[in-house]
Amino acid sequence: MSLETDATRAGSDSLIACHDCDLLHDIVPLSDAASAKCVRCGAVLYHEKSNGLDRTLAYTVTGLVLFVFANAYPLMTFRLEGRSQANRLISGVYDLYAQGMWELASLVLLTSILAPLIYLLGMLYVLLPLRLDRRPWMLAPVFRVVQKLRSWAMLEVYTLGILVAFVKLADFGTVEPGIALYSFFLLIFALYASDLSLDPRAVWSRVGAKQ
């Protein structure tokens, strides 16, 4: 579906710029699963996602529950000659800090714990009131920060570190995966599903409707 451009209305909330060629187009309602394309270059401008906010809210709540489990229980337990040691998600941060690598410890803390937590809480702060037909305080700046923060929640990268540690430790003793490990993997899928179902236009349109 193509949209007509109207450059004289550049300040209107009903306009969207093409991500590839910057041509302005009017935003018009679409049928479910339909896409709007640029009339100049053919790039996809936006998709219509049915019940996108509800699904994103559901994935966000699921992600918060999984986040609690991922941090409250051990990721894995290492057993060697009758001794055992349980490691949690925060254990890597403690170990790096104890070895004097506080910069790396801070980065791991940010990308594996703080960024995902703040992202999930921020999404809940934005979506839940909108679902209840309310507008939370500072919604616009909070939503902008949350969207930028998502790129810092690098759980996928941390997962590679967990898998490498799992394989290396298995050469020396018995490694038992914990509840937190499964929760951590499911959390990655919950965040990914949240990203796919989120339609920022729907959020901003709800904001405009309540002004």
Tens of pLDDT along the chain (211 residues)? Answer: 333 333 333 344 567 778 778 777 767 766 666 667 788 787 776 666 666 788 889 999 999 999 999 888 887 777 777 676 777 777 778 877 888 888 888 887 888 888 889 989 999 998 888 888 887 788 888 888 888 877 777 776 667 767 776 676 666 767 777 888 888 889 988 988 888 888 777 777 666 544 4
Q: Model-level pTM?
A: 0.70
First to last CA, the chain: 30
79, 166, 179 from 99: Cα distances, Å:
23, 21, 27
Spatial contact of 89 and 68, defined as CB atoms under 8 Å apart: no
